[in-house]
């Protein structure tokens, strides 16, 4: 089994609206997979289908290498936190978890205590109701609820949304711990790439229902790292020159300049060669793109919503 979760043209149509369209995503065991997309992109729609909470209009998916009926049996290995965790506000974290355990017939001694430790809620005042917790604590309680029954894969819809910087760090640390210490595979959505960039191993970018791209963290760094921007009065000749210097993979920027990711440390050498070849050098500089810029470039603009 190459992928713990794989979708095959997964599509959901509401009326005329294609909320998810021919989505083919691939999640490997032990990965934290970030599903990135703006408001209304289709993240929740995809996660609901994958968790068995809604039926695809067409397309399918496999879980743990299984499809069809066998796949549905595998859903018991999937833990879910979608939108707001359904908490009993007057009950404590312990009691909320205990109720879910009882409902699922799970009763080993110390089970709830272990879950609380896993998400860093072990020191919470047992008398306080979850309704009085900070948003970050409630999100971590939601993650603990998704962990009841020891799932191998958990699907978390925007667990970071609305948290303050401290809360973001805590949730990120919780996710890394689940992956590293318990070997749990995590699919997590966010509308901000940077929020996941410190913890995710792979990404899927969803935009208007379509999965635009999928890449590993290594690929992301390659693509979004620094690059050299070169603008001359003779682009084809510049390309030939660069190839002669063994610098390949130049891409064309909208303003007619060339962007190269290799040879960024050879700027002086490149500008000298261009000048010596009699090409008019208009501009050459190093540009470092943030992950966020990379993502915004892909989804077309900075406006949100
Ligand atoms: N039950 C539904 N009925 C009709 N349209 C829906 C339904 N659920 C979602 N949609 C539409 O499908 C599109 C995708 O919605 P979805 O909730 O999956 O996006 P999202 O990426 O989770 O957004 P957000 O960041 O706001 O949570 C939106 O245009 C939404 O209005
Ligand atoms: Mg959503």
pLDDT tens, residue by residue, 208-259: 999 999 998 878 777 777 788 999 999 999 999 999 999 988 889 888 899 9
Nearest to 278 by CA among 238, 230, 231, 240: 238
Nearest to 244 by CA among 231, 222, 261, 263: 263
Atom 24, ligand 1: residue with shortest CA distance: 39
- DSSP assigned state of 241: H
Per residue of the chain (305 residues), give pLDDT as tens: 889 999 999 999 999 999 999 999 999 999 999 999 999 999 999 999 999 999 999 999 999 999 989 999 999 999 999 977 789 999 999 999 999 999 999 988 999 999 999 999 998 887 889 999 988 899 999 999 999 999 999 999 999 988 888 888 889 999 999 999 999 999 999 988 777 877 899 999 999 999 999 998 878 777 777 788 999 999 999 999 999 999 988 889 888 899 998 777 888 899 999 999 999 999 998 887 666 777 777 777 544 43
Q: How far apart are CA 46 and CA 23, in angstroms?
A: 8
pLDDT tens, residue by residue, 102-133: 999 998 899 999 999 999 999 888 788 999 99
- How is residue 222 written in tokens? 């390659």
Q: How far apart are CA 53 and CA 231, in angstroms?
A: 52
Distance 295 CA to ligand 2 centre (A): 18
For 5-221, CATH number out of 3.40.640.10, 3.40.50.300, 3.10.20.740, 3.30.230.70 equals: 3.40.50.300
Distance 49 CA to ligand 1 centre (A): 12
pLDDT at 303: 45
Domain with CATH 3.40.50.300 in the chain: 5-221
Atom 16, ligand 1: residue with shortest CA distance: 42
Distance 42 CA to ligand 1 centre (A): 6
pTM: 0.80
CATH class of 226-288: alpha beta
Q: How far apart are CA 248 and CA 70, in angstroms?
A: 47
Torsion angle of alpha carbons 86, 89, 90, 91, nearest 10°?
Answer: 50
Torsion angle of alpha carbons 203, 207, 211, 214, nearest 10°?
Answer: -30
pLDDT at 255: 86
pLDDT at 304: 43
Distance 211 CA to ligand 1 centre (A): 15
Q: How far apart are CA 118 and CA 132, in angstroms?
A: 21
Domain with CATH 3.30.70 in the chain: 226-288
Please report, for residues 99, 125, 165, 186, 276, the alpha-carbon distance to residue 30 in angstroms, rounded to integers and kept in the order given. 29, 33, 26, 7, 52
Q: Which atom of ligand 1 is nearest to the CA of 20?
A: 14
Atom 25, ligand 1: residue with shortest CA distance: 39
The pocket around ligand 1, CB under 6 angstroms, is made up of 14, 17, 19, 37, 39-45, 191
Q: Give the ligand whose atoms come closest to the C-alpha of residue 11.
A: 1
Atom 5, ligand 1: residue with shortest CA distance: 14
């Amino acid at each position: 089994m190459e992928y713990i979760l794989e979708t095959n043209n997964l599509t959901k149509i509401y009326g005329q609206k294609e909320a998810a369209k021919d989505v083919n995503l691939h999640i490997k065991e032990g990965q934290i997979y970030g599903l990135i997309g703006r408001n209304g992109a289709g993240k929740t729609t995809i996660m609901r289908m994958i968790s068995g909470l809604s039926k695809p209009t067409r397309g399918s998916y496999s879980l743990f290498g299984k499809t069809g009926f066998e796949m549905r049996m595998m859903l018991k290995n999937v833990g879910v936190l979608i939108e707001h965790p359904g908490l009993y506000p007057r009950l404590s974290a312990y009691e909320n978890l205990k109720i879910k355990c009882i409902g699922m017939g799970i009763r080993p001694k110390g089970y709830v205590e272990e879950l609380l430790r896993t998400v860093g809620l072990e020191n919470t005042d047992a008398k306080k109701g979850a309704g009085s917790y900070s948003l970050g604590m409630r999100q971590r309680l939601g993650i603990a609820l998704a962990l009841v029954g020891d799932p191998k894969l958990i699907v978390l819809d925007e667990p970071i949304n609305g948290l303050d910087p401290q809360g973001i760090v805590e949730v990120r640390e919780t996710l890394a711990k689940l992956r590293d210490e318990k070997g749990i595979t995590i699919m997590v959505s966010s509308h901000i790439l940077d929020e996941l960039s410190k913890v995710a191993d792979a990404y899927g970018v969803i935009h208007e229902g379509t999965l635009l791209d999928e890449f590993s963290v290594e690929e992301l760094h390659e693509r979004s790292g620094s690059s050299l921007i070169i603008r001359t009065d003779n682009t084809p000749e510049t390309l030939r020159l660069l190839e002669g210097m063994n610098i390949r993979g130049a891409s064309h920027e909208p303003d007619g300049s060339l962007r190269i990711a290799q040879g960024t440390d050879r700027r002086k050498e490149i500008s000298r060669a261009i000048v010596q070849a009699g090409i008019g050098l208009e501009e050459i500089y190093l540009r470092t793109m943030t992950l966020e810029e990379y993502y915004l470039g892909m989804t077309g603009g900075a406006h949100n919503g």
